[in-house]
Amino acid sequence: DTAALQEQFNATIAADHRIEPRDWMPEGYRKGLIRQIAQHAHSEIIGMQPEGDWLLAAPSLRRKAILLAKVQDEAGHGLYLYSAAETLGADRADLTDKLIERKQKYSSIFNYPTLTYADVGVIGWLVDGAAICNQVPLCRSSYGPYARAMIRVCKEESFHQRQGYELLMTMMGGTPEQQAMVQDAVDRWWWPSLMMFGPPDDDSPNSAQSMAWGVKRHSNDELRQRFVDMTVPQAEVLGVTLPDPELALDPETGRYRFGPIDWSEFKQVLAGNGPCNDERIARRRAARDDNAWVTEAATAYAEKHAAAVHA
Ligand code: 3HC
């Protein structure tokens, strides 16, 4: 009966063991996971766009090869995540439709434009750096398929972060114009990167339940603080200034204090009013609609093949 199943589920969570697709789980756990995993998958797929914009304008063949590999990795991350969502009974085509109809979210960060090649480096350093901070603890998430997907995603994100930092180091060793491009990109991406971690803890409706179920392991503010502490010394080595006059080491805690985040900007981006929301969704819609014939042909072929195997 349900009470016994619930008890078994609670015991699995309490023992810090993993919940697997065939295990019984409360409906809220399933729905919450589909929400988070789908949003995460959409972020990876939409996240291909801002950097993909530079594939044809990379400054050298080496940079183009690196960027191509990175954008391709993001497509792979999207696929693992959609597959993880499917183990919970979600349908991938349905999730894509919900993204295009704006019924499901994707990360706020991908609604900002990439204005110069320095943005490619800053996305690697700050955006992928923030993604790692947020996702490493998800390797211990209570849902098995999600946690296992995160292990590979984090390894690849770690390469992404380093290529970004290496690109920025190279530019900082270049001309004053190149150095100015890096500083400008840092100025534009710093605050949106802090917003990636989500609203402050006292305004985060999903956190308490998600942490009780072991889906999330740390709160939004905790991970944001961890990211700031990790990044400030890297900015010093790079030779850039982070655009926050209140940023300062607190000698008592050994952690960096930082200025207030503009949550009204975050809310505007979530409401669909960021600089690139319309463009990002329009491209996904075009990709779905223009390529529908490929999906139909592949589906017809697969059905024919399956029928032949069973004949
Ligand atoms: N962008 C868009 N929406 C956000 C957001 C953000 N940065 N942060 C929070 N939200 C949304 C939440 O989804 C939630 O909306 P919903 O209830 O309608 O789904 C609402 O704001 C309130 O936030 P909560 O803190 O209550 O939500 P969560 O407990 O789910 O925490 C989260 C938010 C920390 C983003 C968590 O979902 C999470 O850790 N997700 C997994 C990681 C992820 O999705 N990362 C996206 C970036 S992927 C990336 O950068 C890879 C790159 O290399 C391409």
Query: What is the tens place of the pLDDT at every residue in 74-116?
Result: 999 999 999 999 999 999 999 999 999 999 999 999 999 999 9
User: By three-state DSSP, how is residue 252 classified?
Assistant: coil
Dump pLDDT digits (tens) for 218-252: 999 999 999 999 999 999 999 999 999 999 999 99
Tens-level pLDDT at each residue, the chain (311 residues): 899 999 999 999 999 999 999 999 999 999 999 999 999 999 999 999 999 999 999 999 999 999 999 999 999 999 999 999 999 999 999 999 999 999 999 999 999 999 999 999 999 999 999 999 999 999 999 999 999 999 999 999 999 999 999 999 999 999 999 999 999 999 999 999 999 999 999 999 999 999 999 999 999 999 999 999 999 999 999 999 999 999 999 999 999 999 999 999 999 999 999 999 999 999 999 999 999 999 999 999 999 999 998 87
- Radius of gyration for the alpha carbons in the chain, expressed in angstroms and rounded: 21
Q: Which is the closest atom of ligand 1 to the Cα of 36?
A: 37
Instruction: Name the residue with the closest Cα to ligand 1, atom 28.
Output: 206
Residue 161 Cβ inside 6 Å of ligand 1? The answer reads no
Instruction: Name the residue with the closest Cα to ligand 1, atom 32.
Output: 198
Instruction: Name the residue with the closest Cα to ligand 1, atom 42.
Output: 40
Q: What is the Å distance from ligand 1's center to 106 Cα?
A: 7
Q: What is the pLDDT of residue 93?
A: 94
Q: Which is the closest atom of ligand 1 to the Cα of 131?
A: 50
In 3-state terms the chain splits into helix, strand, coil percentages (rounded to 5) of 70, 5, 25
Residue 207 Cβ inside 6 Å of ligand 1? The answer reads yes
Cα separation values, 236 from 102, 181, 192, 239, 261, Å: 39, 17, 20, 5, 21
Compute the CA torsion angle 134, 66, 46, 128 (nearest 10 deg): 20
User: By three-state DSSP, how is residue 121 classified?
Assistant: helix
Sign of CA dihedral 162, 165, 170, 173: negative
Q: What is the Å distance from ligand 1's center to 46 Cα?
A: 14
Residue 196 Cβ inside 6 Å of ligand 1? The answer reads yes
Instruction: Name the residue with the closest Cα to ligand 1, atom 36.
Output: 36
Looking up tokens 């093949």 gives 305
DSSP label of 260: P
What is the CA 285 to chain-centroid distance, rounded?
20
Closest C-alpha among 96, 213, 90 to residue 147: 213
Residue 206 Cβ inside 6 Å of ligand 1? The answer reads yes
Instruction: Name the residue with the closest Cα to ligand 1, atom 43.
Output: 40
In this structure, which long-range contacts are made by residues 180-183, counting pairs with CB atoms below 8 Å and at least 24 apart in sequence?
Answer: 181/116, 181/117, 181/118, 182/118, 182/121, 182/122, 182/238, 182/240, 183/240, 183/241
**pTM score of the predicted model:** 0.96
